[in-house]
Amino acid sequence: MSNCKGKSLRIVNVASNCGFTRQYKALEALYQKYKHQDFIILAFPSNQFLQEHSSKEKIQAFCELNYHISFPLFAPIRVNG
Protein backbone atom coordinates (compact mmCIF):
# COMPACT_ATOMS: atom_id res chain seq x y z
CA MET A 1 0.00 0.00 0.00
CA SER A 2 3.01 2.30 0.23
CA ASN A 3 2.67 2.98 -3.51
CA CYS A 4 -0.66 4.69 -2.71
CA LYS A 5 0.86 7.32 -0.44
CA GLY A 6 -0.12 10.83 -1.56
CA LYS A 7 -2.62 9.56 -4.15
CA SER A 8 -6.38 9.81 -4.33
CA LEU A 9 -8.01 6.44 -3.78
CA ARG A 10 -11.36 4.93 -4.56
CA ILE A 11 -11.74 1.73 -2.58
CA VAL A 12 -14.56 -0.47 -3.82
CA ASN A 13 -16.14 -3.79 -2.99
CA VAL A 14 -16.75 -5.57 -6.27
CA ALA A 15 -18.53 -8.69 -7.47
CA SER A 16 -18.03 -10.41 -10.78
CA ASN A 17 -21.05 -12.65 -10.75
CA CYS A 18 -24.07 -10.44 -10.02
CA GLY A 19 -26.23 -7.61 -11.30
CA PHE A 20 -23.55 -5.05 -10.36
CA THR A 21 -20.81 -6.71 -12.42
CA ARG A 22 -21.16 -4.02 -15.06
CA GLN A 23 -19.59 -1.63 -12.52
CA TYR A 24 -16.21 -2.76 -13.84
CA LYS A 25 -16.79 -0.89 -17.11
CA ALA A 26 -17.49 2.39 -15.33
CA LEU A 27 -14.65 1.87 -12.86
CA GLU A 28 -12.17 1.25 -15.68
CA ALA A 29 -13.36 4.38 -17.51
CA LEU A 30 -12.93 6.41 -14.31
CA TYR A 31 -9.48 4.95 -13.75
CA GLN A 32 -8.37 5.67 -17.33
CA LYS A 33 -9.61 9.24 -17.07
CA TYR A 34 -7.79 10.10 -13.84
CA LYS A 35 -4.90 7.65 -13.43
CA HIS A 36 -2.42 10.27 -14.67
CA GLN A 37 -3.53 12.56 -11.85
CA ASP A 38 -2.38 10.21 -9.07
CA PHE A 39 -5.73 8.43 -8.81
CA ILE A 40 -5.99 4.71 -8.07
CA ILE A 41 -8.94 2.36 -7.76
CA LEU A 42 -8.44 -0.47 -5.29
CA ALA A 43 -10.96 -3.26 -5.92
CA PHE A 44 -11.70 -5.79 -3.21
CA PRO A 45 -13.92 -8.72 -4.17
CA SER A 46 -15.85 -10.69 -1.57
CA ASN A 47 -17.73 -13.95 -1.85
CA GLN A 48 -19.69 -13.48 1.36
CA PHE A 49 -22.79 -12.90 -0.76
CA LEU A 50 -22.10 -15.88 -3.08
CA GLN A 51 -21.64 -13.59 -6.09
CA GLU A 52 -17.98 -14.11 -6.83
CA HIS A 53 -15.69 -16.52 -8.61
CA SER A 54 -13.70 -18.89 -6.40
CA SER A 55 -10.19 -17.40 -6.49
CA LYS A 56 -8.32 -14.18 -7.16
CA GLU A 57 -6.89 -15.69 -10.34
CA LYS A 58 -10.35 -16.58 -11.70
CA ILE A 59 -11.73 -13.17 -10.76
CA GLN A 60 -8.74 -11.40 -12.38
CA ALA A 61 -9.03 -13.48 -15.57
CA PHE A 62 -12.78 -12.81 -15.80
CA CYS A 63 -12.35 -9.06 -15.27
CA GLU A 64 -9.48 -8.71 -17.71
CA LEU A 65 -11.25 -10.74 -20.40
CA ASN A 66 -14.68 -9.13 -20.07
CA TYR A 67 -13.94 -5.61 -18.81
CA HIS A 68 -10.24 -5.09 -19.60
CA ILE A 69 -9.55 -3.73 -16.13
CA SER A 70 -6.10 -2.36 -15.43
CA PHE A 71 -6.54 -1.14 -11.85
CA PRO A 72 -5.45 -3.28 -8.88
CA LEU A 73 -7.71 -6.17 -7.94
CA PHE A 74 -7.01 -7.78 -4.58
CA ALA A 75 -7.70 -11.26 -3.23
CA PRO A 76 -11.22 -11.79 -1.88
CA ILE A 77 -11.85 -10.35 1.59
CA ARG A 78 -14.56 -10.42 4.26
CA VAL A 79 -16.60 -7.22 4.13
CA ASN A 80 -19.00 -7.84 6.97
CA GLY A 81 -19.14 -9.68 10.27
* Residues annotated catalytic, as ranges: 18
Helices 56-67 and 23-34 cross at an angle (nearest 10°) of 80
Contact 44, 12 (CB under 8 A): yes
**Is 30 exposed, middle or buried, given 0-12, 13-18 or 19+ CB atoms closer than 10 A?**
middle
